[in-house]
Structure 1
Amino acid sequence: MKASPVQASKELFGKLSDGTEIHRWSLENGGTRLKVLSYGGIVQSLEIPDTEGRYANVSLGFDTIEAYVAESPYFGALIGRYGNRIGKGRFTLDGTAYQLSVNDGENSLHGGSAGFDKAVWDVEPFTEGTDVGLRLQHTSADGEMGYPGTLRTTVTYTLTEDGDWRIDYEATTDRATVVNLTNHVYWNLAGEGSGSTGGHELEIAASRYTPVDAGLIPDGEPAEVTGTPFDFRTAKTVGADLRVAHQQLLYAKGFDHNWVLDKGVTAEPRHVATLRDPASGRTLRIATTEPGLQFYSGNFLDGTLVGTGGTIHRQGDALCLETQHHPDSPNRPDFPSTVLRPGETYRSTTTHSFHAG
């Protein structure tokens, strides 16, 4: 018999410089343990067992709110209003040009300098049948970071009786705008602080990816993965082709690209990627409604950050698999649209399923 879900518990995690209290919520269900901060909707830790039943935190994070504020490269955070990059921080919608906050060279990344990852979210716990979870809400004012429209966002984190972690995103606006929400967990299925993820095996259900320019903005049409380091249609280790002298890998110092998922946009989540650590036997399967998946191989972890386990994170010590619409979509009418209008509701769902064996 499966264990009953553990009711969410709440504790003070720390305070911002203005005195705002940041809380940490703890959930457990189906063998998965999740800790979430009200700051940024951050997944501070996610613990799952290996084949011997031994638990490890498989996500990167920090022990203090001060570290998240000062130096976090989006560890575990909710990302918005727009996940990934918008070229030069500019787009035109319905004939009006908008200039966004620029925080990645000349581009806008992950919503700008004060995106959803730096917002304090309202959090409410819930238990529904065999599920336990948190509803996080945030309102972004018209003009914030340069985006039009007052955007009201609800993100629901659910742990199911099978131990799956499901994320449901919803948003509405009072003016036409663009939206692309995701989560930025850094995964290491061997456990946080255990070293390189180069030996992890990765499979992605995508026959194309979006090549980028030197600023990591999509450049030209999506390209076939056949015959390139970007072919993960059959599982291979993350490090197998990481050092191939391919111009795209030189631009990003590794993988930091969007895969165009073969399934496209779907009404219900469909399986798109599998990540496995052979040593521990831990496996992560990702399903989503989104048309894209950004695989980032932790290229910019440079040994300056200390994680929850007290170890230094170096290049490749974790990786990200961000479900999303394609980067720079507001400037690419050939990509699936990210436009949201009054009267419409943005919806997106991604599920993470964990197994050991």
Structure 2
Amino acid sequence: MNHRVCARILREPFGSLPDGTEIQRFRLLGEGGFEVAVLDLGAIVQALHVPDRDGRLADIVLGHEAPGAYISEPRFFGAAVGRYANRIADGRFALDGMEYRVPANDGDHALHGGPQGFDRRVWKLAELCEGQAPSLRLTLVSPDGDQGFPGTLAASVTYTLSGAGELTIAFEATTDAPTLVNLTHHGYFNLGGVEAGGDVLDHRLTIHADDYLPVGDGAVPLGRPESVDGTPFDFCTPHPIGARIRDAHPQLHRGRGYDHNYCLDDRPAPTPRLAARVEHPGSGRVMELLTDQPGLQFYSGNFLDGTAAGKQDRLYRQSDGFCLEPQIWPDAPNRADYPSARLDPGETYRHVSVYRFSVA
């Protein structure tokens, strides 16, 4: 039975993990049916209901209907990932003259914080707030040495709904020793609605970035940013995701599609600014992403291969969803010329991204 915490937040059980740990789901209710459902497992956005141009609601994020699948079939669907989002080359980095190793979980490299990253942890409920902008804050303590990272990190993520179509995701973290931190939301979106069963290749995408990071084997950046001008990576004006995804470009071949960091800036911004816009012509749904982060990873769902069973008993296949992950640039711990991911005692890491939904 649902337990009503307040007029605009519902708390309900969401099954249990194989070890018996019970998982909770928190539903934040906005205006006009706008709703987000968040699990304490991985701080995962499990569902996000948004109206189309005719007012019809649909869930627009890929995910699972039972918690065990998030552990047994790890695709980071909707998760909060860390300590370090994206890749660290060879799972190693140096900090203040000391070398640290993160277990490799993506070939030779560490991805999204290693094999036991934040997406696989049960976060703690810290605060529920009702009112015109219902919000949920979850916290997690990552001990010194966790997945090889130094320092005890105290992290939090807050989900807030505003009006009929705005979701804000705000991360914070502090540490008791110098460390690295790079947190992000790893949502897989399909603005046509996941139940409809279409892919995202017709979604029209704009990314406000002039440069991107070409990658080598293992999707680790090769070096300095390169211009998107004259390449299939140019989304400075709207293009369907699928319009050039099969072009014979070596970077598209290497990643089986798009899986690249777009360089928004060389450092975090003081406030969120518009980074990307996506429009689904069929439903009219529009998503604008504003962020204060210096990078944006665009992933076109290239490695969804039909082995992950999702909602409505659907098998997720290539390009059934896209990701736009605001973050610090990949492998920044090994690149002095990239934005820094360092966090020292007395400082607070902050990351604010806003997902603004409307119709066209």
TM above 0.5 = yes
Correspondence for 1:115:
117
Of 238, 243, 266, the match for 1:240:
243
Matched letter for residue 240 of structure 2:
T
Is the CA contact (8 Å cut-off) linking 1:8 and 1:125 kept in structure 2?
no
**When the two structures are superposed, what TM-score results if normalisation uses the length of structure 1?**
0.97
Please tell me the residue identity of whatever aligns with 1:78.
Answer: A
Deviations 1:229-275 (Å, cap 9, x if unpaired)?
Answer: 10000010000110011111111110000000158521110011001
Query: Does the Cα contact within 8 Å between 1:275 and 1:284 map onto a contact in 2?
Result: yes
Q: Which residue of structure 1 lines up, in the alignment, with residue 258 of structure 2?
A: 255
Aligned twin of 1:340: 343
Q: 1:293 to 1:165 in 2, by over 3 A?
A: same
Question: Could you say what secondary structure the match of 2:48 adopts?
Answer: strand
Question: 1: distance between equivalents of 2:253 and 2:31?
Answer: 41
Query: 2:281 matched to 1:274?
Result: no
Q: Is the 8 A contact 1:30 1:159 kept in 2?
A: no
Partner Cα separation in structure 1 for residue 71 and residue 356 of structure 2: 30
- Name the counterpart of 2:28: 27
User: Structure 1's 26 and 129: CA in aligned 2 closer, same or farther, altered over 3 A?
Assistant: closer
Query: Structure 1 residue 129: deviation in Å?
Result: 4.6
The number of residues matched between the two structures is: 353
Distance 1:88 1:338, change over 3 A: same
Aligned sequence identity (%): 48
> Deviations 1:331-352 (Å, cap 9, x if unpaired)?
0110110000011100110000
Q: Distance in 1 between matches of 2:134 and 2:20?
A: 30
In the TM superposition, 1:218-229 aligns within 5 A as 218-229=221-232
Aligned-residue offset at 1:310: 2.1
Distance 2:335 2:68 in 1: 38
Which of 201, 215, 219 pairs up with 1:216? 219
1:16 corresponds to 2:13: no
Partners of 2:203 and 2:280 within 8 A in 1: yes
Q: Which amino acid in 1 is paired with 2:155?
A: T
Q: Is the CA contact 1:201–1:275 (under 8 Å) kept in the aligned structure 2?
A: yes
Checking the alignment, whether the CA contact within 8 Å between 1:88 and 1:107 is kept in structure 2 is: yes
**SS at structure 2 position matched to 1:215:** helix
Is it true that 1:292 corresponds to 2:312 in the alignment?
no
The alpha carbon displacement at 1:61 in A equals: 0.6
Q: Distance in 1 between matches of 2:78 and 2:209?
A: 24
* Post-superposition offset of 1:77: 0.3
8 Å contact kept, 2:288–2:356: yes
Per-residue deviation, 1:9: 1.1
Query: 2:3 maps to which residue?
Result: none
Out of 69, 72, 79, the position equivalent to 1:70 is 72
SS of the residue 2:217 aligns to: coil
Retained in 2: the 8 A contact 1:79–1:117?
A: yes
Q: For residue 333 of structure 2, what is the aligned residue in structure 1? A: 330
Instruction: Provide Cα deviations, 1:217-240, integer angstroms capped at 9, x if missing partner.
Output: 010210000000100000100001
TM-score (norm 2): 0.96
The answer on 1:155 being equivalent to 2:176 is no
Conserved? CA contact 2:8–2:130, under 8 Å:
no
Matched residue, 1:204? 207
1:355 to 352, 355, 358: 358
In the alignment, the residues of structure 2 paired with residue 30 and residue 235 of structure 1 have an alpha-carbon distance, to the nearest angstrom, of 29
Q: Pick the aligned partner of 2:59 from 57, 60, 63.
A: 57
**Deviations 1:86-119, CA, capped at 9 Å, x for gaps:** 0000000100000111100000000000000001
Moved over 4 A (4+): none
Contact 2:13 2:24 in 1 (8 A): yes
Structure 1 counterpart of 2:14, one-letter code: F
Check whether the contact 1:256–1:296 (CA below 8 A) recurs between aligned residues: yes
The Cα of 1:278 is off from its aligned counterpart by 0.4
Deviation at 1:306, TM superposition (A): 2.0
Match of 1:234, SS? coil
- The corresponding residue for 2:176 is 174
Q: Which residue of 2 aligns with 1:84?
A: 86
CA contact (8 A) 2:297 2:325 kept: yes
Q: State the distance in 1 between where 2:10 and 2:164 align.
A: 20
Paired residues of 2:30 and 2:161 also in contact (CA < 8 A): yes
The amino acid across from 2:60 in the alignment is V
Amino acid at match of 1:79: V
CA change 1:168–1:109 in 2 (3 A) is same
How far did residue 6 of structure 1 move?
Answer: 4.4
Q: Please list every run of 5 or more consecutive structure 2 residues that lacks an aligned counterpart in the other structure.
A: 1-5
> Which of 289, 303, 306 lines up with 1:303 in the alignment?
306
Deviates more, 1:151-160 or 1:27-36: 27-36
